[in-house]
Amino acid sequence: MSRTVKRAFRYRFYPTPEQAAKLVRTFGCVRLVYNMALQARTEAWTLRQERVSYAATSGMLTAWKKTEELAFLNEVSSVPLQQTLRHLQAAFTNFWAKRAKYPTFKSRKKSRRCAEYTTSAFRYRHGHLTLAKMTEPLNIVWSRPLPDGAAPSTVTVSQDAAGRWFVSLLCNDVIVQNPATGIVGVDAGLDSLLTLSTGEKITNPRHERRDRAALTRAQRNLARKEKGSANRAKARLKVARVHARIADRRRDHLHKLTTRLVHENQVIVIEDLTVRTMVKNHRLARAISDAAWRQFRTMLEYKADWYGRTLVVVDRWFPSSKLCSACGALAERMPLHVRSWACRCGQTHDRDVNAARTILAEGLSVIACGDGIRPQRANARTGQPSTKQEPPGATQGIPVR
C-alpha cells in the first residue's frame, strides 16, 4: 500500500554575489509588504471595525508599487510579495479560529529571512533551478535525489542566522506503507532521552552540553564588542554558527530516532508533555530545551501519518511513574530522585521502564475503549481546529506524575 504526500526537500546552495544581493533585497521587500499590510488591516479594524481581505491587500500592493517611495518593489519578483500576503491571511485565519495569537510585525534582525516562489516564478529543468529576475541557476548541493519525475510546486529560499543559504522544494512523494507488527510505549526523560516499554533506554546525547564551552567563549567574545560595529557582527555570526551546529546534530538524531520507531511499530504511545510549562523550572530548562521533546513529538506525528501508524497520546495527568505496571497499584509519592522502587506486590521497578509500560497499557486501553486520550493538536496549515477537553484532575492544579 502506498500514499502520495506533499514533502519538502531541503538543500544548501551557494549563491553568486549578484544572486545574494537580489535575494537579500527580496527578503527586505517581503518583510516590508507584510508589515505594511498588517498595519493597514490593524488600522482598518481599530478605526472602522472593518475586516480587510487578502484581495484588498493585493490591491494595496499594486497601488504601493505605483508610488515613487515604493517603486523599488518592482525590482524583485512579485510572487514572493503576493505569497507573504497569503501568509498574513493564513495568520489572521488562525487568529480568528483561536489557534494562534494576533499576527506581529516582522523584525529585520529577528524574523526568519525567506521568500516563497510558486511555479510561475521559477524554472526547474534537469536538476537546474532558476528563480525569477535571475539569469543563472542556483548552485545547489544535491545531497539527496528528488523523487523520480518530481515537479516542484513551491520553492522557498531562506538564509539562517549563521549566514547559510537553503532552498526547499515542495514535491509530491509516494510513501510505501509497509505493515509493522510492533507496539511500543515511550517515556521521555533527561538521563535517557527515551525509554521504551521493551526495556531499551536511548541515551540522551546532550548536544548543547558538548558545545557549551565553545558557545560560552563565542558569547563572551560577542559581549565585549561595541554595538553596531563590524566586529560585533562577526562575533554574532560565530555564535550563530555554534547554535546551528547544535541544532543540526539534534535534528539529525531526532529524525533517525523517529524514523526507526515508525518503521518498527504499528502502534506508538507517548505522553502529552507540557514543555512550555516545564521549561519554567530554571534548574531544568536548559536540559529540557536541549532534549527537544516537542520537536520529537512533531516529527513522530507527521511520520506516523505518512506511514499509516497509530499514534496515541496519553493524557498528561496520567500517573505513569507512580502506577505499578504489574498489579496496577498506585504509589503515594514518587519524588524525582527515586529512580527505582518496590511495589507492595513484590515487583521492583525501574522508574522509567515502568512509566513506559504503564503508558503503553493506557494507550492500548484507549484504543480498545476510546477513553482517556487527549485530542491531537490542530494543524494550523490545514485549518482544522481540534476539540479541547479538560484533562482528568485538572482542577487540582498540579500533575500527579
- Which residue in the list 116, 208, 301, 352 is annotated as catalytic? 352
Going by C-alpha positions, the residue among 142, 144, 152, 143 that lies closest to residue 173 is 152
Contact 292, 330 (CB under 8 A): no
Going by C-alpha positions, the residue among 237, 244, 236, 304 that lies closest to residue 270 is 304
C-alpha cell at 256: 533517525
Look up 305 and say whether it is catalytic: no
Query: Which residues have a Cβ under 8 Å from the Cβ of 177 and sit 6 or more positions away?
Result: 1, 2, 3, 306, 307, 308
> How large is the angle between the packed helices 230-264 and 293-306, nearest 10 degrees?
50
d(CA 104, CA 80) in angstroms, rounded, equals: 19
Can you tell me which residue has the cell 500517573?
A: 319
Look up 226 and say whether it is catalytic: no
Residue 374's region, left for phi above 0, alpha for psi from -120 to 50, else beta, is beta
Going by C-alpha positions, the residue among 73, 48, 75 that lies closest to residue 58 is 73
Can you tell me which residue has the cell 527580496?
A: 26
By residue count, the chain amounts to 401
Going by C-alpha positions, the residue among 353, 363, 274 that lies closest to residue 317 is 274
- Which residue in the list 187, 208, 290, 301 is annotated as catalytic? 187
- Which residue in the list 271, 290, 301, 315 is annotated as catalytic? 271
Residue 195's region, left for phi above 0, alpha for psi from -120 to 50, else beta, is beta
Look up 43 and say whether it is catalytic: no
User: Which residues have a catalytic role annotated?
Assistant: 187, 271, 352
